[in-house]
């Protein structure tokens, strides 16, 4: 399990999934059963709330666009 937070693990995972998306025909990514921190991460990454924010869904293009415009320093807690 990851012991450190806000060091880029989640972003790295999203970037890897975006690279694999065309190979598998993925058009959307989702975060299921999101807690408060996961919801905030999803929002920053271009995901949109689903079922009152319990889940978050984002199209590949929306997530790519958010990552391209996201200039946050992820190492700052």
Domain membership flag for residue 75: no
Domain membership flag for residue 46: yes
Domain membership flag for residue 62: yes
What does the buried/exposed string (b/e) look like for 45-56 if buried means 16 or more CB atoms within 10 Å of the residue's CB?
Answer: bbbeebeeeebb
* Structural domain of 64: 9-69
Residue 3's pLDDT is 75
pLDDT in tens, the chain (77 residues): 567 777 889 999 999 999 999 999 999 999 999 999 999 999 999 999 999 999 999 999 999 999 999 754 444 43
Residue 48's pLDDT is 97
Residue 73's pLDDT is 47
Domain membership flag for residue 16: yes
Helices (H) and strands (E) in the chain, counts: 3, 3
Q: How many domains does the chain have?
A: 1
Domain membership flag for residue 59: yes
Residue 57 three-state SS: strand
Domain membership flag for residue 76: no
Domain membership flag for residue 74: no
């Amino acid at each position: 399990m990851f012991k450190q937070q806000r060091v880029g693990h989640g972003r790295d995972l999203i970037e890897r999934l975006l690279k694999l998306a065309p190979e598998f025909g993925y058009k959307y990514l989702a975060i299921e059963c999101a807690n408060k921190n996961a919801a905030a991460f999803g929002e920053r990454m271009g995901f949109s709330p689903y079922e009152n924010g319990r889940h978050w869904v984002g199209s590949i293009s929306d997530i790519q666009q958010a990552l391209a415009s996201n200039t946050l320093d992820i190492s700052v807690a």
